[in-house]
Amino acid sequence: MFRIVTLFSTYVVLAIGLSSCSPAKESAPHNVQLKNAIGQKLMLDFRYFCHDDSASDECQQAVTELPDELAQVLSSGAIGGVILFAENIESIPQTMTLIDSMQQVMKANDLPPLFIALDQEGGRVARLPDSMATRFSGNMAIGATYPVHATEFAEKIGRGIGRAVKLLGFNVNFAPTVDVNVNPQNPVINVRSYGEHPATVAALGQATVRAMQAEGVMSALKHFPGHGDTHTDSHTGLPRVAHDRATVDAVDLLPFAKSIASNAPPAMIMTAHIQYPELDDTTFISTDGEPRVVPATMSRKILTQVLRDELGYQGVVITDALDMAGIAHYFDPLAATLQTFKAGADIALMPYTIRNNADIEGFWQFFDGLTQAAQQGELDNNALQASAERIAALKASYQIDTSSMPALAQRIADAEQQLPLAENKQLERELAAAAVTQVYDRGVLPVRSTRWQLIMPDNLRCRAFQQALMTQQPNSTSRCLSLSELPKGAPWQQWDKNATLVIGDITPHHSLAEMGGMDDLNNWRDRPSKAAQHDWIRQALVAANAQQQTTIVVALRAPYMLSQFQAISDAGIASYDYSTHPLPHEPLHGNGQTQLHAPSIEAVVAVLLGADARGQLPVTVGAVQAK
């Protein structure tokens, strides 16, 4: 603890020193202090790095151990933090060794320990493999349990995620998402939200923050001032929220305001790359020469006047990734970072992409540009001082210095023995069962038939449904058709007319946030048409109705899609989740296929066969109101 307090004191002195020297009377120590303070305000991603100098946009060599070149960036830049992605994570020993090697670089150079961050929201955004940590069903599933269970699941899951990521060496989790999803067409938030009621979102978000931080993991509440009413993904464009100020206060800001005012405020708040003209209608000229309303990440009115002054937030403000199109299409990296610092952000997340040695050279030019801006007064020294104090105080308060921890070998042994946490796996099943929601039923539930015709989004979901049916209804027979490619002709002509038709749908498609980020842009663009899938599903339902088959539609992701098919199907069920992964070394009924872990799909099958559907809609679906 002494070292941590000393480290904190040293960096407060460093910060205070920033305002004591004018640009005309700079000293070498002042320059070092200034550069170190700038470095602490940067959180980099080391997702890929190619030693052969492959082009940045072609480099796919995952960083699973720390290269000397990146170690040098950390130490020479006094970098404040690193975010890891799924590509950085192969196993428990490898992940913990990678994290420890980065922390040891900082320790050896007498620099503050790093923020080591990840996006482990649960549900569709989870960077850790299921063999290491439990994914859970996600926030909208938690929202579906709120009328019966209040904040019970939010608290338990926040605690469970916190315990798991801390065992691996992470100290920051970019979660929870407290965007109020009032737009059914939202392409990036949807099931990542707890629902459409601001008070419910506030209660569940606050409970998650409190529980996670009680486990020693800093929570970053996101995406301020709210990403819930957008129809554009800020990974691919610049969204705009046109709410009036009364709506902004009552809906978008409410979850943030409640958490900030609580006795366990979030350690960090992450900004949104979204235009909020009611909060700030200032325009800027983007790199394409067009005037645009400034996004929240770049807005001093929003980050300082609203977040700091009106809401009273005293913690660390971090941007969303600055390589996202909502910023990168309109600013170059240096201009973007300078503007967000001027707006009041403490940390710039992923401000400069490093994928090869040429990028490292470019990074140092970028870094020098930040330093020169501070030296020349473009960045306010008092603001830099206050920011340095907040960052240092946060690192000290969470005691993230590895000096006080057991040896790495012991930590790895402890993590391997405990992960994935058994209590989290049990909690995952409990949440899945508590969340399943019966949205409508024309008297066909529970299903008495033992013959099933399944239509699923892909082969993995086919296997998961069939496995669940074999387990829960051993005398059943089923056939499954995958929609990974749309079938040709009229396959319904071959269906058993006495079989119950169950159609599972995943809408909307994965967003870039779920896939990992901007490096996945090409795969994101190559996805099949969801409209074409829904047209085919509509034809299948009409044909099945003509054959007098029982028809059930299951929303495996956002429940909004059920409104499209309510008039032509007998029942609609929402699970909010479709997570499925293999359990190695457990063959299924001797057929040689690996046993699958799919708690949400198992819970859906249980409801089809007669279990109570205890979940209640956290969002409005057609004429069915949220509870």
pLDDT digits (tens, 9 = 90+) for 384-398: 999 999 999 999 999
pLDDT at residue 301 is higher than 50: yes
Provide the sign of the torsion angle of the four alpha carbons 320, 321, 324, 327, taken in this order: positive
**Domain residue ranges in the chain:** 2-418, 436-608
- Res. 111: pLDDT tops 80: yes
Percent over 90 (pLDDT), the chain: 82
> Mean per-residue pLDDT for 306-313?
98
pLDDT at position 557: 96
Q: What is the dihedral of CA 483, 488, 489, 494, to 10 degrees?
A: -50
Helix (H, G, I), strand (E, B) or coil at 614: coil
Q: What is the mean pLDDT of residues 519-530?
A: 57
Are the CB atoms for 130 and 581 separated by under 8 Å?
yes
Supply the pLDDT for residue 593: 74
Higher pLDDT, 402 or 490: 490
Q: What single letter denotes the amino acid at residue 482?
A: S
Q: Residue 528: its pLDDT value, please? A: 67
Predicted pLDDT of residue 448: 96
Structure confidence at residue 466 (pLDDT): 98
User: Can you name the residues that pair with 574 across neighbouring β-strands?
Assistant: 437, 555
pLDDT interval class at 23 (50, 70, 90): very low
Task: Verify whether residue 320 is a known catalytic residue.
Answer: yes
CATH topology of 2-418 equal to that of 436-608? no
**Quick one: tokens of 574?**
């929402």
| First-to-last C-alpha distance (Å) of the chain | 48
Please give the full DSSP string across 492-553, using - where no structure is assigned. Answer: GGGS-TTSEEEEEE--SPPPHHHHTSGGGHHHHHTPPPHHHHHHHHHHHHHHHHHTT--EEE
Q: 230-240: b or e for each residue (b if 16 or more CB lie within 10 Å)?
A: bebbbbbbbbb
- For residue 116, the cross-strand partners are 82
286 pLDDT tier (thresholds 50, 70, 90): confident
What is the SS3 assignment for 443? coil
**What pLDDT shows up at residue 285?**
86
What is the secondary structure of 285-344 as a DSSP string? E-TTS-EEEPBGGG-HIIIIIIIIIIT---SEEEPSPTTSHHHHTTS-HHHHHHHHHHHT
25 pLDDT higher than 60: no
**pLDDT band at 510; cut points 50, 70, 90:** low
What DSSP state is assigned to residue 442? Answer: S
What local confidence, expressed as pLDDT, does residue 19 receive?
45
* Whole-number pLDDT of residue 231: 79
Model confidence over 235-260: pLDDT tens digits? Answer: 667 889 999 999 999 999 999 999 99
> What pLDDT sits at residue 115?
98
Given the residues 45, 119, 320, 505, select the one marked as catalytic.
320
Going from the C-alpha of 373 to that of each of 84, 233, 338, 368, 579, the distances in angstroms are 29, 31, 8, 8, 47
pLDDT of residue 588: 52
Least confident of 27-31, 180-184, 339-343: 27-31
Banded model confidence at residue 12, pLDDT cuts 50, 70, 90: very low
Using pLDDT thresholds of 50, 70 and 90, give the confidence band for residue 261.
very high
Task: Please provide the average confidence, as pLDDT, over all residues in the chain.
Answer: 91
The pTM of the full predicted model, rounded to 2 decimals, is 0.93
User: In this predicted model, what pLDDT tens digit does every residue of 143-157 receive, in sequence order?
Assistant: 999 999 999 999 999
Say if residue 274's pLDDT is above 90: yes
* Better pLDDT: 124 or 288: 124
Alpha-carbon distance 45 to 34, whole Å? Answer: 22
Residue 4's pLDDT is: 35
In which band, very low, low, confident or very high, does the pLDDT at 29 lie, cut at 50, 70 and 90? Answer: low
- Kindly tell me if the per-residue pLDDT of 103 is higher than 70: yes
- Range 414-424 average pLDDT: 98
Tokens of 429: 């099943």
What is the reported pLDDT for 47? 97
Question: Which pLDDT value is given to residue 326?
Answer: 79
Q: How far apart are CA 371 and CA 350, in angstroms?
A: 18
List pLDDT tens digits, range 32-91: 899 999 999 999 999 999 999 799 999 999 999 999 999 999 999 999 999 999 999 999
Rounded average pLDDT over 346-372 = 97
- Torsion angle, alpha carbons of 594, 598, 604, 605, to 10: 20
CATH class as words, domain 2-418: alpha beta
pLDDT digits (tens, 9 = 90+) for 194-245: 999 999 999 999 999 999 999 999 999 999 999 999 877 666 678 899 999 9
Percent of the chain with pLDDT over 70: 90
436-608 folds as Rossmann fold (3.40.50)
**Cβ within 8 Å of residue 512, ≥6 positions away:** 188, 233, 235, 236, 518, 520, 521, 524
